[in-house]
Amino acid sequence: IIGVALKEPPRREAPSIDYLGATLLVATTTTLVLIFDRRTHQIIGANMKIALALLLVGCFAALIIHESKTKSPFVNLSLFRIRRFSFSVVSLLIIAMCYSLIGFLMPFYLQNILHFSPTHMGWILIANSVVIVLVAPIAGWLSDRMGSRLLCTEVFKLLVELIQVLKVPVHRCVADVRR
Under 8 Å CB-to-CB from 110, ≥6 apart: which residues?
116, 120, 121, 124, 125
Quote the pLDDT of residue 9. Answer: 64
**For the stretch 119-148, what's the b/e string if a residue is b when 16 or more beta carbons lie within 10 angstroms of its beta carbon?**
eebeeeeeeeeeeeeeeeeeeeebeeeeee
Q: For 17-31, what is each residue's pLDDT tens digit? A: 889 999 999 999 999
In terms of Cβ atoms closer than 10 Å to its own Cβ (0-12, 13-18, 19+), residue 78 is exposed
- Residue 75 or residue 8, greater confidence: 75
Q: For 132-172, what is each residue's pLDDT tens digit? A: 899 999 999 998 998 888 888 888 888 888 877 777 565 56
**How far is C-alpha 23 from the chain's CA centre?**
20
Phi and psi at 95, nearest 5°, equal -65, -45
